[in-house]
Structure 1
Amino acid sequence: MPVNKIHSFFAIFIGSFFLLCFLILIILFYNHQSDKIKSLALESMTMLAEWNRLENDSNDLLLNRFTQFGTDSSLVVSNWENDYRSFEIKLDKLIDNEFIKRQPEILKRLDGAYRVWRFTEVRLNNASFYFNQIIQSGLGEKVMVNGMLHTMYMMRMQGQLDIDEISLLEETIYALESLDNATNEFDHLFNSIVLDLEVSGERYLQRIRGLFVALFSSAVLVLIISFYINRQLKTAQVNRKIYLDSRKARLLQSLCENSSEEGQAVFNEKRVEYELKLSFDVPVMLIMIQIDNFNDFSHLYNIEEQQDSIMELCSDFKTMLSQNSTNIEYFLYNKEFIVFIMNTAADCEFSDLEDGIRIWHSKVPADGDLSISITLTDLCFETDDLDRDFEYLCRLSEYRYLLGKHSFITPGAWKIKPFEYFKYPQEKERLFIEAFKSLDHDETINLMSEMIDYAAPYGPESVKRLILRLTAAQSSVAELLAKSFHIEVSQGVTPMILEIQKKETLEEARMMLDGIVSNVINACQQKKSEKHDQTVLMIREIIENELDNLNLSADYIADRFNLTTSYINRLFKQHTSFSIAGYINERRLLKAKELLLSSGLTVSQAAEKAGFASMGTFFRLFKKNFGQTPGELVSDPVNTKIE
């Protein structure tokens, strides 16, 4: 996987991890706040239930005034008073809750309720004081057994109470009624506050949810924006790198094409800007990699995939070269070529470097999607000669046309004859055309191979020119044969030349030419065979219909077909193994035999009917063919039917 893709993967992974952690923290915080709100709601509802119970007890005690205290009235009053004090403690705790402190409206209403509670507490203290006075005076044992108010009236009617006792009881009843009014007011306020607490808690949770959604959306948006910015930065970096690489490639190509002082000055001026470490103070070596089947490769992958594959190949090749080289640069040349320029190490031998490149090249699959050919040149010791060496490298790479794909080309591997000494083999071409016209397949292929082998030592340019001229001649003959034999030829001269020019190697061009020759000759021979079969069939029909014609002969039939006697004899014999004269005699003898056995004619009559002009010839041929004379045949009792 490329490094930039690995970095992108880790960036996405880390961003997603932190976003997930943030989401988990949000969920935990929300659950914590929700638990606090639920706990407060439960606490407030518990207090409300306790207050309702306390109020019910107060109603029994204070409003109905018929509560039976039993024998221990002081304990009942003390428990009743303690319940009020316990509720007060819980109320203080509720007011101190952090959530309520963050709710100004609720806190304000609680403060008001608390002031009402203080008023209720005063009334409670007042009622408790009078209760304790009643208990301490011993009056409680009298009036708090069957109901305080009922007992007070009964004892008052009976004169059992004095004025102070009656006043004490009335003050107690008044204090109880005041406490009742105070508790009613607090009950109204506290119920509404509990309901508001529930609404405020739900509203608070909704705000938290909204805040969390906003935070999460903001985090996602920030993450998306950061990824977008990161992607744009990477794109800008990639574009910048592509721009610098393209400028670097142009500079290197310009130097290779023009290494004069002017070209070197331009290179030295830009080398620092483009971070080129190539030095010409040490020997320089040029290597060219050519992508085989570049058209298929470019159609098989998109531009990005092509670049990735080429970059991976170049990186691998550069790593291998770095073992024997110091500074290595490369650039793309005419799409399908990659030119490497490098400074060789001081202790590096050319043969060792060549062996290393050859071993690396052998590991690249020849039948893979990215098959390559490699061309090497000798070491360049002078910067001024770099353009000449590059031109020589380009010419040397053209020998891939002769060697084929996945070839390894080195200087001195070919003994090249001067191109100006090359002469087109016109006599061979004439023989080739004649062999092709005569449908001699083997001779045509052999002559074509001899012409190509003759041109090969003069270099690929000579072979390409010969192939083009040979293609034109072959196409012309193919069109001529197509008209003569009424066959179809797939391509004309111009399309065939255009097609042959697309072939990357001589092997591919040779296969194309061989295929055309084979297809045309096979089609012509098939048509010719069909025509010959029809001619032989017509000859047989003429012989069968004109056996009694004394002029029937090979010359007579040749005149009928407007052909020579020798040709028509040769054609007939190829298909029947008989000459025309022999076949005529064979058919006449069979007819004479049939007439002798079935019609009752005399020998001379049968011979005349069969077309024999000479009786001597008839007897001689009959005896030779059937082993007996015509008379013996007729007199033989065995011959009762035609054999």
Structure 2
Amino acid sequence: MLSRKDTRYYGKIFLAMTLSIVLTITVLSGILYINFERIALQQSYDQTMNSLSQTTQEASVMAVTASTFAKQIYSDQHIANLLNFADVHPMEISTAVRQLTNYRETSPFIDSIYVYNAKAHTFYVSTDMSVAAVFDESEFYDHEMREMLGNLEAYDSLMPIPRKLSIEGLAGNIAEKQRDVYSFLLYDTLMPKANRNAIVVNIKETQLHKHIDGSLTSDPANTFLLDKGGYLVSSSWKYPMLTDMKGTSYINRILADPDSSGYFVEEVDGVKSLVTYTEPDYLGWRYVRILPYTVISERIDILRGKTIIITVSILLAGLGISYFVSRRLFSGLSKKLSRLGNLEAEQRNSLQSMKYEYLRRLLHGDADRNPDRVKTGFARYGVGLDPYSPVRVLLMTVDDYRSFIEAYTVEDRQLLRFGVLNIAQEMLNEAGFAAAGVVLGDDRIAVIVQARDEGAENEREAILEHAGRIQAAVTQYLKLSITVSTSMIGEDIQAVHGLCLQAIEASFSRVFHGPGSIIDSETVELKKAKPYEYPLDKEKQLIDELYLERIPAVKELFSEIIRDTENYSYMSFQLAVSHLSFALQNAIRSMGRRLSVAGELAIPSMPLYQHEWNETLEEFMGRYMHLFDRLEKHMEENKGRTRQEDVSERIMKLIDEKYMDSSLSLDLLADELGLSADYIGRIFKQTTSKTILGYIQEVRMNKVRELLVETEDPIGEIAEQAGFSNNPYFYKAFKKHNGVTPAEYRRINGWQAEQEQELV
């Protein structure tokens, strides 16, 4: 039994605890109730911005892809004839158009490719529609492109031009009326306006559409791209591409904020909505997402209802608990202190999480990097860095990431990543550096490093030395292999985002140095400064050797081209691999009919800038060497049927037998031999230094000269006997080869023959 004094004391404690619980729950509930809407809006905005930020990269990828294809087409040897000559042989046109089709078929997002010869006023077209491959400019179905090419100064080279490709009026069974495309123009700005040839690559709008609004009408949100003039540059499930959105209040509000991102709530088409928009990217495009407010308010209403129920329940439970707890207050004081300790630990953990999130946003460029405001943030979260002093970024990347995720659970991987972070921070702090780091992603840990003594010499060498020690400690204690890349030094904290990107870019050079390497950005930047020129001559030589079945030479040339990129940037390596992969793909496709291996020998793939890419240069080249070995094996198995050494002799024999046939052509010879036209052309050129068409011309000319001297047949009949079916072309070709007309040749050589006969 409690005494009267204890009862009064107990009553005061009970009353104080009850009032504290009631007041605390009421205040907290009120604050949460009031702030639910603001928090929900902010969360929705953050999620949307993350999604839109990822989508902005797709436009860059599209531009780079289209630019690469346009430049490859422009430098293609076959297609150069279409650009540079007004009178192109039909055989060369056929070859070039096939090459255009090869380019188009390498990507499912290419709608069509045009080659425009300004001098000939001719379009050469590769498209999936059933249309002709050659159009006179006046008859070309893409009227808008004709007008654009007549006013090239109005368009930037290799920049996307959103437009609707009209295909009405075409013959055939084409059901479409229009296609949404992004057109990329490549033309020579130094040429006179009237002679500007052009390459046009039309990219399907669906490439971006599937990343922007792939869910279509199943998603209540509406997402689209907007240019600085207020026109849509992508389709949405509500509006078609190129719709003029100016005049609507929410679009005008976005256009009034030309350089920033943000969100606001406003009625859109009569529906209250959350409008989120990004800042313009380098193309001047902005990403806009409209989400009906009911989607957000539905969650808010549910949360509000749950909060009220939980609050009342907690309040009632708290009153009951306070009654029993207050009676045991004296005997259970140690338990209460323990609970307070646990609450303190939870608060510390929460502060640590907020610290990591702040550092992560700072490195990603999502946080304000003004030194004055960063100083306040550092003080709030206990970060021991000076925002006004020079900084570096140390990036640690887990090697062999696929094995890493297979060997450990999600929780274990998280612990190991924090283990790497703690080892790095402790070792750098012990070495006299200030360090603060965070886990950036699945396989990346970044540490912002600062020398405590700003006048310290050899700071770069010291960082690299300690990077090696960190690697050794991680291997010893965590049994992990990591690659460390260091950025250059920045003037103050404002440079930290750029330094982080610099370190990430340097980490891609792991392909050259291998896992467990230390990569310095200064070395990488020096390599980037060196201009890289892709060796097209070696690529051509490699393809020629491949057609000649000289696999050892193919391996050697491949190794030379790839290994040369070690002296340049990682982008140079990517460029070389892309060029070689495309060239080898075309070559194997040409050889496929003869070797029957086109479906068996696939070009090794390589992901761009992904953590799944863990191969060294040697391992990557090994996969290609294996491809060449398999190709050589198929060649050996087919040597009994098709020996390349006598291909040229068989071609010459066929020409000597069939030169009288005016329809004799490269394709006819290829059909006779059971080989591809490209292949026999390369083999004949390689072994005789002549083209097949040139040799046909030579045999026919020899026969014409013989008949002109030895017979008195009319010149027209002689031309037909030699296989020339076109008299004007025959006379022109004869004079080009002999310097005189057929009649003059007969007169001169006939007179010489008579003189020689008289001497005899």
For normalisation by structure 1, the TM-score amounts to: 0.41
Bigger-Rg structure (1/2)? 1
Where is the strand percentage greater, Structure 1 or Structure 2? 2
Which of the pair is proportionally richer in helix? 1
Taking CA–CA contacts closer than 8 Å with sequence separation of 6 or more, which of the two structures ends up with the larger relative contact order?
Answer: 1
